[in-house]
Structure 1
Amino acid sequence: MLKYIIKRLISLIPVVFIISVILFSMLHLMPGDPVRMMMPENAGSLKDPAAYEKLYEETKIRYGYDKPLPEQYVRWVGRTVSGDLGFSSMDKKPVIDVISVPLKNTLVLNLLSTVVSFFLSIYIGIISAVKKDTFTDRFWQVFSLIGISIPTFFIALSIIYIFALKLGWFPSNGMPLMPNDGSLAYYRELLRYLILPAFTLMVGSLASTSRYVRNAMAEALSQDYIRTARSKGLSERVVIYSHAFRNALIPVITVVAWSIVGMFGGAAITEQIFAYNGIGRLLIDSVLARDFNLVLSLNMFYAVLSLSANLLMDIGYALVDPRVRLD
């Protein structure tokens, strides 16, 4: 198994290299001058054109923009590997400091959404498959179609209108105003702000994942080996979970892995609507501000996240079906 994982990790290296080259090259084609964006805030007050140009050249040299593009790329890779993600022109401080808090917030939001959505999807999918063509199955089928069809922003606005504006149960947007002192009161307040955006992310993921689980389980339950297991007198619980569910795991692993990536992607819209301080909202702001280093770092994060999900998916396949390791 370890040999298989190492093999998969090595195969990701050229993929990461190609993605990084593409992102680095494309972002250099963004409109605007990153050097001017990184100049001190008082640079615009310089009335002497010569003094302004001198400051411009100093800033260009300081951040390495005077070097050829290939050399800039090599220097950027070297800094990134050492943990230096560059300087944010939008916040006027290192990128690593800019993204640390939003990244933690997004991880908390997505972890809550993913865990709850995963277990609910498995449960709903299995129940729907076991009770195929009953009212329960049809109800969740309709829910899945609605959840998949409705855009994320509409779900978010509807949730805000019902639970925040009409019922007043939760805050409509923002983050807790009280400082993070590690107290129970702070985490209780944080949970109040998390519930609506987490519920928004859950709806789409729950709808799609439960539908795939239901279809995979329904197909597994129709196989001959299931009838054989039942004819041997095995309990329905053992037949469902030990035989049918195990063989339905391959497509389920695929959907769950990509739904996690989809949640992070969908978080950009959700965080913007709920004014939640996460990396999705930060990415939108950095693009609008033409913050080269911040946009590059966040895009690489999403790329590595997708590749990590793909790696975990392959490992999951190998655990469920050992024959995969021989391919």
Structure 2
Amino acid sequence: MARYVVSQLGRFLLLMVAVAVVTFALVSLSPVDPLQANVGQAALMSMSEEKRAALAAYWGADTPMLERFLAWAGDLLHGDLGMSLRYNAPVAEVIASRAANSLALMGVAWVASGVLGFVLGVAAALREGRLLDRFVRGYCFVLAASPTFWVGLLLLIVFSVWLGWFPLGFSVPVGVAAADVTFADALHHMALPAITLSVVGVANVALHTRAKAIDVLNSDYVRFARARGLTRREALIRHGLRNLALPAITLQFSQIAEIFGGSVLVEEVFSYPGLGQAAVTAGLGGDVALLAGIALVSAALVFAGNLAANLIYGLVDPRMRPVRRQKEVADD
């Protein structure tokens, strides 16, 4: 187990270094001028050369990428993510203030899409070729081909503009003090963005679960169980769910990256103040410190999801435990 932990820690550190380097390189190669993006073309043209030079030094526009990266990496080793020039606040504070909204949104959508996708996939497999199966497949094919922002816009038009069931955007009511915002208010504003992420994320889980469930239903041990008098549903529940669990866990935890990417678009559509919206603001404004911080947090989140999936594998199937696998390799 110690060797497994050390190997995972090494992979995590390599991932963080790669994400940081790629983020800084992409921002440096980007055509976005941080001065023009944050000051404005008209205001920038009216400034004196001294003022432009001072702003360029403040934004690091005249500093080579390698020098900026080394300075930022040195501060990071001391626990400092740098200063967000776009928000005029430490990056850690900006991320902390928006992480709660994003994690709540992504957590609800992640759980809902996984549970609903698994149930729909199993139900479609049990009714293979029938009306329910055709409906589930059609639903999944349409949503799998639909952009997240387009689905969000449709739901926003129908349920917010036409029906008025949900607010048009933001995470809290406009004009209400933070102390007066209730949990019901926050949940009401989060509902439609979470529904958008959930209905889009259902497609892959449902289709893969359906395909695996059909394979299980056609297996020899399920046929033997049915020969003993069990129905298809009883045989699948008693003898097939564990075999369905591993691919479902793989899909569920691999969706963390997709959920995070989809939340960026959803937060923009619904003006939801989260990490996704902050990442877009940082990218358009050339705020490399904030963008690198959000990239590191998102990469750590995806890595934690994959690690959790590997650990859960051992609980579902003892043959997948890291210690057992390493012992078998050593014996060979």
Name the TM tier (shorter chain).
0.7 to 0.9
Cα separation, 2, equivalents of 1:81 and 1:241: 50
CA offset digits 1:57-101 (Å, max 9, x no partner): 9748xx8x86x7556434423422443211111111211222222
- The equivalent position to 2:165 in structure 1, one of 163, 169, 186, is 169
- Tell me if structure 2 keeps the 8 A contact 1:5–1:315: no
Counterparts in 2 of 1:5 and 1:317: CA distance versus 1, 3 Å = farther
The one-letter amino acid paired with 1:17 is V
Quote the sequence identity (%).
28
For residue 73 of structure 1, give the secondary structure of its aligned residue in structure 2: helix
Q: Does 1:240 align with 2:236?
A: yes
Cα separation, 2, equivalents of 1:151 and 1:69: 34
- Tell me if structure 1 keeps the 8 A contact 2:34–2:285: no
CA offset digits 1:108-131 (Å, max 9, x no partner): 111111122222122111111122
- Tell me if structure 1 keeps the 8 A contact 2:24–2:288: no
Q: Does 1:194 align with 2:187?
A: no
TM-score, L = length of structure 2: 0.83
Cα separation, 2, equivalents of 1:226 and 1:44: 72
Q: Does 1:307 align with 2:307?
A: no
2:15 corresponding residue in structure 1: 15
- Tell me if structure 2 keeps the 8 A contact 1:89–1:291: yes
- Tell me if structure 1 keeps the 8 A contact 2:124–2:132: yes
Cα separation, 2, equivalents of 1:59 and 1:165: 43
* Higher mean C-alpha deviation, range 271-280 or range 250-259: 250-259
Counterparts in 2 of 1:50 and 1:128: CA distance versus 1, 3 Å = closer
- The equivalent position to 2:111 in structure 1, one of 109, 115, 140, is 115
- The equivalent position to 1:209 in structure 2, one of 205, 211, 223, is 205
1:101 corresponding residue in structure 2: 97
TM-score, L = length of structure 1: 0.84
The one-letter amino acid paired with 1:86 is G
- Tell me if structure 2 keeps the 8 A contact 1:125–1:217: yes
- Tell me if structure 1 keeps the 8 A contact 2:149–2:266: yes
Counterparts in 2 of 1:206 and 1:124: CA distance versus 1, 3 Å = same
1:224 corresponding residue in structure 2: 220
For residue 118 of structure 2, give the secondary structure of its aligned residue in structure 1: helix
CA offset digits 1:183-216 (Å, max 9, x no partner): 7x61111111111111111111012211111111
* Higher mean C-alpha deviation, range 215-224 or range 9-18: 9-18
* Higher mean C-alpha deviation, range 274-283 or range 254-263: 254-263
Counterparts in 2 of 1:187 and 1:232: CA distance versus 1, 3 Å = same
1:24 corresponding residue in structure 2: 24
Q: Does 1:269 align with 2:274?
A: no
What's the CA shift for 1:286?
1.2
Give the superposed CA RMSD. Answer: 3.1
Cα separation, 2, equivalents of 1:135 and 1:48: 71
- Tell me if structure 1 keeps the 8 A contact 2:140–2:206: yes
What's the CA shift for 1:298?
1.4
Cα separation, 2, equivalents of 1:47 and 1:219: 69
Counterparts in 2 of 1:180 and 1:232: CA distance versus 1, 3 Å = farther
Cα separation, 2, equivalents of 1:75 and 1:51: 24
* Higher mean C-alpha deviation, range 69-78 or range 147-156: 69-78
The one-letter amino acid paired with 1:80 is L
- Tell me if structure 1 keeps the 8 A contact 2:36–2:44: no
- Tell me if structure 2 keeps the 8 A contact 1:147–1:208: no
The one-letter amino acid paired with 1:161 is I
Counterparts in 2 of 1:56 and 1:208: CA distance versus 1, 3 Å = closer
1:134 corresponding residue in structure 2: 130
* Higher mean C-alpha deviation, range 296-305 or range 151-160: 296-305
The one-letter amino acid paired with 1:21 is V
The one-letter amino acid paired with 1:8 is Q
- Tell me if structure 1 keeps the 8 A contact 2:24–2:65: no
In structure 2, runs of 5+ residues without a counterpart are none
CA offset digits 1:245-284 (Å, max 9, x no partner): 2112222222111222211101111111111111111111
Counterparts in 2 of 1:57 and 1:180: CA distance versus 1, 3 Å = closer
Cα separation, 1, equivalents of 2:38 and 2:83: 8
Counterparts in 2 of 1:238 and 1:144: CA distance versus 1, 3 Å = same
Counterparts in 2 of 1:301 and 1:220: CA distance versus 1, 3 Å = same
How many pairs align? 318
- Tell me if structure 1 keeps the 8 A contact 2:35–2:44: no
In structure 1, runs of 5+ residues without a counterpart are none
